[in-house]
Structure formats: C-alpha cells, structure tokens
Amino acid sequence: MYNLLKGKKGIIFGALNEQSIAWKVAERAHEEGAEFVLTNAPIALRMGQLNALAEKTGSQVIAADATSLEDITALVEQSMEILGGKIDFVLHSIGMSVNVRKKIHYTDSNYDFTAKGWDISALSFHKVMNVLYNKKAMSEWGSIVALTYMAAQRVFPDYNDMADNKAYLESIARSFGYFFGRDHKVRVNTISQSPTPTTAGSGVKGFDGFIEYAEKMSPLGNASALECADYTISMFSDLTKKVTMQNLFHDGGFSNMGVSDPVMEKFE
C-alpha cells in the first residue's frame, strides 16, 4: 500500500455487496489510509451486506435516498460531523433502470420508469454536488468521481435507457465540474469502466456477451472491479490534482478499437 489517502475523508455511495465496484473502492480507500462514510438507499441496505463492509473498514453507514435533497443534506451534515471536517473525496456509484428491470424495450419505454431511472442514475449526481457545493462541504483539491459506461457514446442495444442516463451523467460532470473547479478548487470526473459483473450490470440482457466481446476487443482485456477501484483511488489522491471535467476510459483499450484479430477470427 502507498498511503495515498492518508488523512483524507470521504463519502462512498452505492456499495451493495462484494461484487460492487464501490465495495472494492471502500476496501482500497481503507487500505490507503482514508476514513469515510458508506451510504446507500434504505431498500439497498436491506438487500445488501453493507454492515459487514462498515465493520471491516471501521466506517459508519448512513441510509440516504440519493434522489432526495433532504436526505443528501442530512447525509453530508452527518458525514462532516462523524469525520470531523470537510470531505476530500466522493464516489457516486449509483445506477438503475426500471425499464431494464421490467424488460421493456427501448422503443416502447414506460416514461414514468424512464424518469425514475434518470433521477436515480444521473440527476442524483447533480443533487449530490448541489448540496456539497452550496454547503462548501468539500476541501480544496477534493475529488468527486462518478462511474459510467461507454454506452453513453456508442450504441449497445440492450443497455436501453441506461445509455441516456450515463450520457446525462457525464454532461453533469463537465458542467458542474467547471463551477466546482472555479469556485472551490474541486475536481469532478467520470470513469468509464469495462463491463463488470456487478449486481446492476448483470441485469442487462446479454450482459455475458458484452463481457466476452469486450474482452476479445480490448488489447489489455477487461478491467476488473478491483482494478477500477485502484484507478478511482488514484483519482482521489493528490497525484491527479489537475484532472477535472474528464470522462476517463478504464477499459483495457476497448474505447479506441475498431476491430481486433480475435473478433475477426469469428467471421473468417
């Protein structure tokens, strides 16, 4: 370990179980010397095993609905009280599509479901930063990271309206990143991760095919959840103080590929 986050304090949204990228980030942040609060929606806390992670990392768990400004405000205030000061890093690892869960095709969306998924997956990022910004809760040179996927730029038919949510999420990072950087010297970025077998990702139709295809397309292969956690830790650290408003591809090179030899072999 490198003590990259020694003395730093944070909030980690979205850990559910050991498959979660947020779970791995929490483990790695703890190993690198950070203190943090873990948070998820009340229903997710009932479904997951977050208390085990809290015990392992010496953290406290605060239930919060990330679509509620009231809940986020209470979360930020309690976190600053628990941690004894301002926040140095925040991870937004939240995503859910009701249309995907209900197996409703993109061309026949239920728009109430669309709005709900957008609120949870994308607008919640704006709401979290709204509270952090207006309460001046972030330390100078703090770091805010949200997790995304390349379906924001390219078509993956079965990714459904989550692709739209991720595109909106990435736009928020750029737009809010300007104001956060200008006014509070805080950086805001998104990490576009390889398809990863998490609880959320596995709910997408054909997800196993996504993973196999990406593995064959990427010169370095798919990035694992733990490798994503390592990259996220580097973005929380002081080594990346001037990186902001970026969508950072962490995908083994997939995002720059047209076609690979292993994929071509399938057609020859």
Phi, psi values for residue 63, rounded to 5°: -70, 135
Amino acid at 77: E
> Beta-carbon neighbour count of residue 169 at 10 Å?
27
DSSP 249: E
Task: Report which of 180, 61, 184, 63 is spatially closest to residue 126, judged by C-alpha positions.
Answer: 180
94 annotated among ligand-binding-site residues: yes
Task: Check 2, 111, 133, 159 and give the catalytic one.
Answer: 159
Return the HEC string of 178-192.
HHHHHHHCCEEEEEE
> What gap in Å lies between CA 170 and CA 191, rounded to an integer?
9
21 annotated among ligand-binding-site residues: yes
Task: Let me know the angle formed at the C-alpha of 153 by 216 and 208, rounded to the nearest 5 degrees.
Answer: 35
Task: Report which of 186, 206, 197, 191 is spatially closest to residue 224, judged by C-alpha positions.
Answer: 197
106 counts as catalytic:
no
20 annotated among ligand-binding-site residues: yes
Task: Check 106, 111, 149, 231 and give the catalytic one.
Answer: 149
Task: Let me know the angle formed at the C-alpha of 230 by 61 and 49, rounded to the nearest 5 degrees.
Answer: 30
Is the separation of the CB atoms in 87 and 76 below 8 Å? yes
Q: How far apart are the first and last CA of the chain?
A: 46
159 counts as catalytic:
yes
Task: Report which of 172, 9, 173 is spatially closest to residue 81, judged by C-alpha positions.
Answer: 9
* Residues in the annotated binding site for NAD(+): 14, 20-21, 94, 166
* Binding-site entries: 14, 20-21, 94, 166
Q: Which active-site residues does the annotation give?
A: 149, 159
